[in-house]
Amino acid sequence: MLLNCVAYQNGCKLADIDRAQIHEYLTRADCFVWVALRDATEDEISEMQAQFNFHPLAVEDARHGHQRPKVEEYGDSLFAVLKMAELSGDQLRIGEVDIFVGPNYVLSIRNNSEQGFLGVRARCEREPELLRHGSGYVLYALMDAVVDRYFPVLDALETRLESLEHRIFSGDSPRANVEALYYVKQELTELKHITAPLLESVGRLHGGRVPQICAGLGEYFRDINDHLVRLNYSIDSARDTVTTAIQVNLTMITLGESEVTKRLAAYAALVAVPTMVAGIYGMNFEHMPELKWTFGYPLTLAVMALVDGYLFYRFRKARWL
């Protein structure tokens, strides 16, 4: 579905144009066309390829989707694949945006994502001195918006992790805690998979042999690179925290089981002493000491009570009971 098709010249918006008019503006000096599609069909991609003459390999990647985040150079054009991360309730959803960038055009194709780029377009139009850089600045603005949207997702996951850390010591179900921690770690791993590959790709846009489209924008792409470094560091730190929390939770489970075992052993000892004494006097041998003594029975009960009392005192002192 076509969302926007706008022509710009010398950093200023010329007009919203129809897709059939694109070729007319591509031939103008200092002019570029910015087209935005959402969940593009095969026919729409083919139409855009005919208009802008994309490289076949880039078109193939855009059609198939589910690509690894990357920025590839084809002659004087670039093809970028970025992953969109957003939380729907407690569920992490991953979308994708494919960006074709040439000297006189930008085409973005958004797939499986509810978050659009109207704010990015408005931002670019408010900064005509930067928009004069052309399509390269639009690429920066789109990438910057995608990367900045990772931070609220990471903050939400870290908040959930902090809540789970408190639950570990609150006596809630240990099994539920482990499952919840594992899901957080899984989502952090997904976030890592969509941010880590961009580090190398963005690095090529501000250091070494910079593509001509990105010339003069090195400090802007370096800023994105700094954000990605910070993101990856925070994700790694959060993943380490999850691993530690899972280990602590398992340790708490083991300690709990040990406490139960000690209590069972203590109660078993309290029962074992009377059972032993009663077992001896229940053997019914004819010649047994104190068998016919008047005070034998109460004395035996008293001995049982004293021994159990002493054991109970020692177990309580050792915190087994």
Give the least confident one: 24-33, 151-160, 204-213, 276-285.
276-285
Host domain of residue 10 = 1-126
Cβ contacts of 95 within 8 Å, gap of 6 or more: 83, 84, 85, 86, 110, 111, 112, 113, 114, 115
Longest dimension (CA), the chain: 123
Cβ contacts of 21 within 8 Å, gap of 6 or more: none
**4: in domain:** yes
Could you give phi then psi for residue 71, rounded to 5 degrees?
-135, 115
Q: How confident is the model at residue 148 (pLDDT cuts 50, 70, 90)?
A: very high
**85: in domain:** yes
CA 81/CA 102 separation, integer angstroms? 15
Give the model's pLDDT for residue 284.
64
**106: in domain:** yes
Mean pLDDT of the chain: 86
Give the model's pLDDT for residue 222.
92
CA 108/CA 101 separation, integer angstroms? 9
Of 78, 98, 126, the residue that ends a domain is 126
Q: Is the pLDDT of residue 24 over 80?
A: yes
Q: How many domains does the chain have?
A: 2
Of 126, 161, 178, the residue that ends a domain is 126
Buried b (16+ CB within 10 A) or exposed e, 209-246: ebbebbeebeebbeebbebbeebbebbeebbebbeebb
Q: Which residue has the tokens 């970025």?
A: 82
Give the model's pLDDT for residue 305.
82
CA 70/CA 55 separation, integer angstroms? 16
Q: Tokens for 244?
A: 């530690």
Q: Is the pLDDT of residue 285 over 60?
A: no
Q: Is the pLDDT of residue 297 over 60?
A: yes
Q: Is the pLDDT of residue 189 over 80?
A: yes
Give the model's pLDDT for residue 288.
65
Of 84, 105, 126, the residue that ends a domain is 126
Q: In what order do the strands lie in the sheet with 70-74?
A: 12-16, 2-9, 31-38, 105-111, 91-102, 77-88, 70-74
What 8-state DSSP symbol labels residue 12?
A: E
**65: in domain:** yes
**2: in domain:** yes
| CATH code (residue 62) | 3.30.460.20
**40: in domain:** yes
Pairing of strands 70-74, 77-88: antiparallel
CA 311/CA 318 separation, integer angstroms? 10
Give the model's pLDDT for residue 309.
83
* Per-residue CA distances from 179 to 97, 137, 246 (Å): 31, 44, 9
Q: How confident is the model at residue 152 (pLDDT cuts 50, 70, 90)?
A: very high
**27: in domain:** yes
| CATH code (residue 292) | 1.20.58.340
CA 180/CA 162 separation, integer angstroms? 12
**161: in domain:** no
